[in-house]
Amino acid sequence: MVDQEPLWVRRVLVSRERYAPYFDGLTQYAVLDKPMVFTGDFDISIEAEGLRNDSFQALFSGETVDNFFRLLQGGSGIQCYIGGAIVSWLTNQFDASQPHHYRLKRVGSVASIGVDGEWKVSREGIQTPLTVTRMMRSWTTSLFTRGQIRELIIQGALYPLDQKESAMQRSQPDNGNSLTIINHTKAMWRRV
């Protein structure tokens, strides 16, 4: 008889091996089954790494130029459009290739951009609706984002992006709005 580790040890060992999708920046992106439209407060966070520093990189966007969250080229910051209203954090030497936790939040009419647990900028008077339809692609048909997304949280619904065998990624708890990876391949999954 072969010795087996106790069940709790096997669970710990299994839980350590985790994979997340690495989007190629050419044809791969993710789209929500239904657009999410936020007319009031919202909170969106994304854990990402491996993004390019030499071009604009949209972490999420809507179907038009009025809604997006993107990193600016050359490490110069982050720019967000919320229904056409602009919130920007300008800096220099920001390295998007490194792991970062990005956050966009609105409470009342104050919209804020956060990076790695620190609020970088807030702007008052932002009351326009935000529409989110996709990740890792801008509102145009030709601008895709390269990098790895480890986690996405929208309004408290976690999209763990860990369902390696499937293009469809369900939220936890299931909010009935799956995220589907377009041009999904098993090769896009990397260990994290």
> Tens of pLDDT along 108-135?
999 999 999 999 999 999 999 999 999 9
Is residue 2 domain-resident?
A: no
- The answer as to whether 125 is a domain residue is yes
CA–CA distance, 82 with 79 (Å, rounded to integer): 10
Residue 51 lies in a domain: yes
Which structural domain range is residue 93 located in? Answer: 19-191
> What b/e readout covers 136-172, taking b as 16+ CB neighbours within 10 angstroms?
bbbbeeebbbbbbbbbbbbeebebebebeeeeebbbe
Summarize the chain as % helix, strand, coil (round to 5): 10, 50, 40
Q: Identify whether 136 is part of a domain.
A: yes
User: What would the mean pLDDT of 129-148 be, rounded to a whole number?
Assistant: 91
User: Has residue 9 got a pLDDT over 90?
Assistant: no
Residue 15 has what pLDDT?
A: 56
Q: Is residue 65 part of a domain?
A: yes
Peptide bond into 173 cis (omega under 30): yes
| pLDDT over 90 percentage in the chain | 81
pLDDT, tens digit, for every residue of 32-85?
999 999 999 999 999 999 999 999 999 999 988 999 999 999 999 999 999 999
**Domain count for the chain:** 1
Decide if 12 is inside a domain.
Answer: no
Considering the chain, what is the average pLDDT of its residues? 91
Does residue 81 sit within a domain?
yes
Q: Decide if 166 is inside a domain.
A: yes
In this prediction, residue 142 carries a pLDDT of 76
Spatial separation of the C-alpha atoms in residues 67 and 71, rounded to whole Å: 14
- Give the mean model confidence (pLDDT) for residues 92-112: 97
| CATH at 62 | 2.60.120.200
pLDDT score of 4: 47
